[in-house]
Amino acid sequence: MINKIIKYNSVLSLFLILFLLNPLLGFGQYINIQIELEPEFQTEVVSELNFGDIVVGSGEKSIQLGDSNMGIFSVTGINSQSVRLSIDTPSTLTHSDPSITDSIPFDIQASYNNSGENTIQGSEPINGDIAYTVINRNALKNQFEWQTMYVFIYGTIMVGNIQDGVYNGFIRLTVDYE
């Protein structure tokens, strides 16, 4: 009889050990970690391109790189971040009254300065409406700091015999980054 009790106790002990160790042996333990990273990347209009008041039929009016009425965008991000700048501009300015179909031909150019300073000195033209660069060309690759680059918008309009009023156009700066 004692022999049978020891056998049952051994089997019961073995069963309890396997049952208690089963979560450790049979089931994996998992930890689900989710991290949401929101990029801190900002583009702002520092000043709008403004041709001002122009006399109807006055012909060509230009704003050159460095003129006080040129448009300026600021682009802020990590200093060594690679970016693609894309400028989308209309070919004409249209009257604010949709019933007036007159328009003003519009030729826009853009340059950028990625030295960290809001100055046209050292700026590079955006050819073909697209440029590939970094936020700050002077940045050390192993240091991550917030820096700002500047995009300058300037150009020429041709004012012919059109109805007077307010003529508008929208310039879109698209910044893609890696």
8-24 pLDDT tens trace: 555 555 555 555 555 55
The answer to whether the beta carbons of residues 152 and 124 sit under 8 Å apart is no
User: Which domains are delineated in the chain?
Assistant: 42-177 (2.60.40)
Tens digit of each residue's pLDDT (9 = 90 or more) over 42-101: 889 999 999 888 888 899 999 999 999 999 999 998 887 889 999 999 999 999 999 999
How far CA 135 is from CA of 16, 30, 114, 145, 176, in Å, comes to: 64, 40, 6, 10, 12
- With cut-offs at 50, 70 and 90, classify the pLDDT of residue 1: very low
Q: Which token pair is 1? A: 């009889």
> What is the band of 137 on the pLDDT scale with cuts at 50, 70, 90?
confident
Which pLDDT band holds residue 3 (cuts at 50, 70, 90)?
very low
What is the spatial order of strands in the sheet that 172-177 belongs to?
130-134, 82-88, 172-177
Instruction: Please name the residues in contact with 172: beta carbons below 8 A apart, sequence gap of 6 or more.
Output: 87, 88, 89
Residue 41 pLDDT exceeds 80? no
Return d(Cα 110, Cα 128) in angstroms, integer. 10
Supply 114's token pair. 């990625």
- The pLDDT of residue 144 is 76
DSSP at 40: -
Q: What local confidence, expressed as pLDDT, does residue 39 receive?
A: 58
The answer to whether residue 129 scores a pLDDT higher than 90 is: no
Q: Which residue has the higher pLDDT, 170 or 1?
A: 170
